[in-house]
Amino acid sequence: MKVAGLFAGIGGLERGLETAGHETALLCEIWEPARAVLAAHLPDVPCENDVRDLTSLPGDVELLVGGFPCQDLSQAGRTAGIRGAKSGLVGEVFRLLDDRRVPWVVLENVSFMLQLDRGRGMLTLIEAFEERGYRWAYRVVNTMAYLPQRRERVLFVATTTDVDPASVVLVDEVEPSIPETDLDARAHGFYWTEGLRGLGWAPDAVPTLKNGSTVGIASPPAILMPNGNVVTPDIRDAERLQGFPTDWTRPAESVGRASLRWSLVGNAVSVPVAGWLGSRLTRPGNYQAARDVPLPKNGRWPKAARFDGTSRHGVSIGAFPTWQDRLPLASFLNFEGKPLSARATRGFLSRTERASLRFADGFQDRLREHLARMEAPTEGRELEFAVAAE
């Protein structure tokens, strides 16, 4: 299908769909660093600036996609809801669909949108599609199905065709092979900015890569390596953890600070997840209605649901369409990480010591050992890291 990508970011959805044979015909992205990335990698595709200025879609577009802004939906953001100043831009999608009902629509966003404001935002989205004659299905999918990053996102598929959207997004499921915590054998990702009320802990993976800040404040996770070192990953490995080639976001440095690349990567759609969806758009499966379950009565939305044209149903299905073999996280990383600073480590440890949370046995001890190395004289610290690396 010919694809129009709104809120395109650095093209994760579009790149994934292209691996499944779809063709990007139009892009729309307002942020200059992201536009620089798109221009470098998709130079022949027209890229509009502001979705609000886009009057119509090309007549040959069959699939409209968009990872619409999540700042007002994210649990880490403002949680203003789908009518917030940023996330409310999804209304532009419906303005364009009112001009021409594109047969297929795919939207992507954070899973927190399902429970935000007791589900009112999701209901607004769903009702808008139903009023326009679309059937829909959605599902939370975890990037860990493909890569060592724990990242849950909602994939929402709507169509006016005879194809059941449930046969696209609700047909593949496997049991994941998520490893147990083992500090001696595996790398473990966590967010060093947390530690008081929560901890984004991920054995043999990193927790969700975040968008950082549009003013260039990077927000990488930390990784406790099996040798006891604590590092933050290189941006090039962060790109790979989203399924992009190394240095995919480097063109952004031509128009902004290098640290903005973290925002670009954190905002992106994981490429292999989009690739799976693209393959199912090409070759739908066979949805089994036995998966249908009643929708919750509290207004909050389950992790998967569908509308068959008459009734809405919850769906019993997990977040893993597949489980691809992958290297252990410690081996996956191609570039030397930056040691977590003494200040960051000290602050994190202070929070964990005041928290009532339970941590893996030995985790805090290894953080204290890392802090001791970071506070040692420079020559000694470099020697200790060199020995540990060996």
Tokens (6 digits) for 85: 């100043």
Distance CA 151, CA 155 (A): 12
Q: Which of 13, 70, 90, 97 is catalytic?
A: 70
Tokens (6 digits) for 200: 């984004």
From residue 129, give the alpha-carbon distance in Å to each of 97, 242, 263, 274, 312: 9, 29, 30, 21, 13
CATH 3.40.50.150 positions along the chain are: 2-176+269-315
Distance CA 187, CA 329 (A): 6
DSSP state of 328: -
**Among all chains, which residue has been given the structure tokens 């007549």?**
59
Distance CA 179, CA 188 (A): 11
Distance of CA 269 to the CA centre of its chain: 5
Q: Residue 390 has what pLDDT?
A: 47
pLDDT tens, residue by residue, 43-77: 999 999 999 999 999 999 999 999 876 444 334 44
Classify the C-alpha dihedral 313-314-316-317 as positive or negative.
positive
Q: Residue 327 has what pLDDT?
A: 95
Classify the C-alpha dihedral 219-220-221-226 as positive or negative.
negative
Q: Position 187: which residue type?
A: A
Q: Residue 215 has what pLDDT?
A: 58
Sheet with 222-224, side-by-side order of all strands: 202-203, 188-190, 222-224, 230-232, 338-339
CB atoms closer than 10 angstroms to residue 277: 26
pLDDT tens, residue by residue, 304-346: 999 999 999 999 999 999 999 999 999 999 999 999 999 999 9
- Give the chain's end-to-end CA distance (angstroms, integer): 50
Please state the φ and ψ torsions of residue 385, each to the nearest 5 degrees: -65, -35
Q: Residue 259 has what pLDDT?
A: 93
pTM of structure: 0.91
**Among all chains, which residue has been given the structure tokens 């595709």?**
45
**Among all chains, which residue has been given the structure tokens 């022949």?**
44
Instruction: Give me the torsion for CA of 49, 271, 110, 190, rounded to 10°.
Output: -120
Tokens (6 digits) for 142: 């975890």
Tokens (6 digits) for 144: 């860990």
CATH number of 2-176+269-315: 3.40.50.150
Mean pLDDT, the chain cut into blocks of 10 residues (390 residues total): 97 98 97 98 97 94 85 42 52 91 95 82 88 97 98 97 98 96 97 91 96 71 97 98 98 95 95 98 97 90 97 98 96 96 96 94 97 82 54
Tokens (6 digits) for 152: 């849950």
Tokens (6 digits) for 81: 């809801």
Question: Does the annotation mark 47 as catalytic?
Answer: no
Minimal CA–CA distance to 367: which of 236, 223, 266, 163? 223
